[in-house]
Amino acid sequence: MESIITRMIVPEVLTKLLTDCKGITVPESREALLNLAMGISDGEQERDQAHNPNFLEVAYNIPGKGHIVEATVAKCRNGLVTNYMEPYLRRRDPDCMVIADEKGTDKQTYCDRYGNDFEALRASSFDWIAEQELIVMPFMAGGPEFGYPALLVGPKNAGFFAAALADIQGFIPGHQLKQGYKPKAIIYLAPTFRHTHFEGKQMVVHNRLEDVYELFSYNLYPGPSAKKGVYGVLIKIGEEEGWVTAHGSTVVVITPYDNVLTIMHEGASGGGKSEMTEQIHRELDGRILLGENLVTSERLYHDIKETCELRPVTDDMALCHPRFQNGNHKLLVKDAEEGWFIHTDHIKHYGTDPYLEALTIHPPEPLIFFNYSTVPDATCLLWEHTLDAPGKPCPNPRVILPRRFVPNIVDDAVEIDLRSFGVRMPPCTRENPTYGILGLFHVLPPALAWLWQLVAPRGYNNPSITDTKGLSSEGVGSYWPFSPGKQVDQANLLLQQFREASSTRYILVPNQHIGAYKVNFMPQWIAREYLARRGTAKFGPGQLQPARCILLGYALTSVKVDGAYIPRELLEVDRQPEVGEEGYDFGAALLTDFFKKELEKFLMPDLNPLGRQIIECFIADGDLQDYLSFLPMKF
């Protein structure tokens, strides 16, 4: 205990806490972390002969409420499976973030929400933590090369949380911690307070002090803290230093003809980021199902004999750090994580994604799973999702995949040729018109692409968060839910990025539905195959035309992949007889009005003058030529 305290430079309150607590465990290896997740410390053979060593209840005694089991951890053949007792805890609550400090923010503060200062609860949190046996785990937020020192402090019986954080962010074994280690961020884990202070709700309190960024996580689902809380830390550091951590997956695509295209796919949670690094899904007979018409039941198929080779780079968080930009007028990115928090709600039966299924059934080391139905000593299967209710599978099953387990992974920074933005679209028909009017993909002028970055529609039936009703905005960059600062600051940073990366191109891609067709994530896979084969070739005369809805930029009049054309009704939704111009125009009005409402909040004195011109142009119903005059388009 004395050794870890003396090697770190930490706030006085943490030094006292570590001195007073019942004991400290500093993980020395991933194996030790997995043992801690099952309640077994180094040197112990098993937790308790009277209990199953392959099954653990993570429980706490709550004043006035008794003994409450928060989660269970089962040791399976291919890893550890955590299940939460409450379905509510199985995905991120979008309202779980509050700001405790008085620095600039557009987020709700702790004082505004609860009517009092955070300091009393902060002191109570430290008192509770000091009464526990603790895990203290150093890690580098943002990765070992370009990251920033950070620390987790939490109860020892929540070892699964520490193991999850370690797989996502990496960790520093205790014996490797150097003298003078000074964390810029500290996560304090105190799960009992959600019952005593927050009516059972998820809550993560961000406290940006001068010398350290404090994150108080009052629940055990790692999404809002170990994952997105650390993201917030990087966003705050980027604001101070003038760079962005983009919310996107990145993949190097190599065609059968050795053309290379690097794509970064962004969007709100559920927007297809993880799917962009997956191989295209096929039917049992090898065909590709483009979509199924929900009105006529017609199924559209396509055949691609040989798909592109994929070399993944990032899954969710992409550092756009100035230390590795090279002046080539393309955005450069590098992974900000050591492991990927992959959701598998789309995998509903064996054979949906053979690549990921094989990787998780036979991993090189045990994996960490969340929200899967299993029992100890069995094999956790990606299509066996925990039930939230009878007949209702949890929409957010997750597996953490350490980067080092991913074949053909790219560790270096890469240049982004194409930046795509994914949006979940509802079905749209003439009888039930919605905003689901996007075609297979749309080409965007950079100025319009920036507007999509500012609004970042959360879209239809989002599986990753608790609030999924209606059309709502994820906010600037689609990472706004994790940002502790001000939207206009991030809007300016993104616009600066768009201007500097003038050779990067932009597209808009739907998933789930194209008009009346159910398409899942097929549009982004087809777009990936098509655009990689095109490389840097420009579109021919008449191949691009202004979309009927200006917000969608340009629609394609033809797309030919591997010798066959994609049906045109998938490129231009107004051509679908089930939708028509009437249904399309209704959806266009929904989208346009929604964007105008969301964009008005950015018209603040601190907004970059060019950004103000772009937003005012949109509000005034400008045309595509106006947007091209702001920022040139390379297509």
Structure confidence at residue 146 (pLDDT):
86
Return the closest-CA partner of residue 463 out of 591, 318, 317, 344: 344
The mean-pLDDT minimum among 38-42, 290-294, 444-448 falls in 38-42
| Distance in angstroms between the alpha carbons of the first and the last residue of the chain | 60
CB atoms near residue 411 (< 10 Å): 12
Q: For 81-90, 105-114, 530-539, 583-592, which range has the lowest pLDDT when averaged over its residues?
A: 530-539
Task: List the beta strands (DSSP E) in 142-217.
Answer: 148-155, 185-189, 204-208, 213-217
Q: Reply yes or no on whether the pLDDT at 461 is more than 90.
A: no
pLDDT band at 253 (very low <50, low <70, confident <90, very high): very high
Does the pLDDT value for residue 462 go beyond 80? no
* Burial degree of 409 (CB within 10 A; 0-12, 13-18, 19+): middle
CA dist 298 → 570, 578, 632 (Å)? 13, 12, 40
Q: What is the pLDDT of residue 94?
A: 86
- The pLDDT of residue 41 is 81
pLDDT at residue 460, as a whole number: 82
* Average of per-residue pLDDT across 282-291: 94
Q: Report the C-alpha gap between 207 and 167 in whole angstroms.
A: 25
Structure confidence at residue 1 (pLDDT): 53
Distance CA(13)–CA(31), nearest Å, equals 31
Closest CA to 11 of 207, 248, 193, 147: 207
User: Which pair of structure tokens corresponds to residue 212?
Assistant: 């350290």
| Beta pairing partners, 299 | 292
Q: Please report which confidence band the pLDDT of residue 471 belongs to, taking 50, 70 and 90 as the band edges.
A: confident
Calculate mean pLDDT across residues 561-587. 97
Residue among 510, 521, 505, 506 nearest 441 (CA)? 510
* pLDDT tops 60 at residue 602: yes
The structure's pTM equals: 0.92
- 3-state secondary structure string across 457-493: ECCCCCCCECCCCCCCECCHHHCHHHCCCCHHHHHHH
pLDDT, residue 470, reads 72
Distance of CA 137 to the CA centre of its chain: 23
Instruction: Summarize pLDDT for 509-524 with one digit per residue, the tens.
Output: 999 999 999 999 999 9
Reported as a pLDDT band with limits 50, 70 and 90, residue 541 is confident
With cut-offs at 50, 70 and 90, classify the pLDDT of residue 241.
very high
Question: What is the percentage of the chain residues whose pLDDT exceeds 90?
Answer: 88
Give how far Cα 142 sits from Cα of 147, 179, 632, Å: 4, 21, 32
CA distances from residue 384 to 81, 165, 368, 380, 512 in whole angstroms, order as listed: 12, 24, 15, 8, 21
Residue 267 pLDDT > 90: yes
Q: pLDDT at position 72, please? A: 98
Average pLDDT, the chain: 94
Min mean pLDDT across 323-337, 385-399, 433-447 is at 323-337
Mean pLDDT to the nearest integer, 600-606: 97
Residues 338-349 have a mean pLDDT of 92
- Among the listed residues 30, 43, 34, 314, the one whose alpha carbon sits nearest the alpha carbon of residue 172: 30
> What is the average per-residue pLDDT within 206-221?
97
Structure tokens belonging to residue 203: 């809550």
Q: Residue 617: what pLDDT? A: 98
pLDDT exceeds cutoff 90 at 324: no
pLDDT per residue as tens digits for the range 426-445:
999 999 999 999 999 999 99
- Of 14-18, 154-158, 280-284, 513-517, where does mean pLDDT reach its minimum? 280-284
Task: Count helices and strands (H / E) in the chain.
Answer: 16, 31
Beta strands in 171-305 (DSSP E): 185-189, 204-208, 213-217, 244-254, 260-266, 288-293, 299-302
Partners of residue 390 on adjacent β-strands: none
Q: In order of start, what are the domains of the chain with their CATH numbers? A: 2-45+92-241 (3.40.449.10), 244-279+306-331+416-602 (3.90.228.20)
Q: Is the per-residue pLDDT at 628 higher than 80?
A: yes
Q: Which residues of 98-129 are buried (b: 16+ CB within 10 A; e: fewer)?
A: bbbbeeebbbebbeeeeeeebeebbeebbebb
Q: Tell me how far apart the alpha carbons of residues 588 and 585 are, in angstroms, rounded to a whole number.
A: 5
**pLDDT tens for each residue of 345-376:** 889 999 888 889 999 999 999 999 999 999 99
Lowest mean pLDDT, pick from 251-255, 271-275, 336-340, 623-627: 271-275
Residue 347 near residue 400 (C-beta atoms within 8 A): no
Strand ranges of the sheet holding 367-370, from the earlier edge strand across to the other edge: 55-62, 66-76, 79-84, 367-370, 398-402, 339-343
| Interval 39-83: pLDDT, tens | 998 655 555 545 678 999 999 999 999 999 999 999 999 999 999
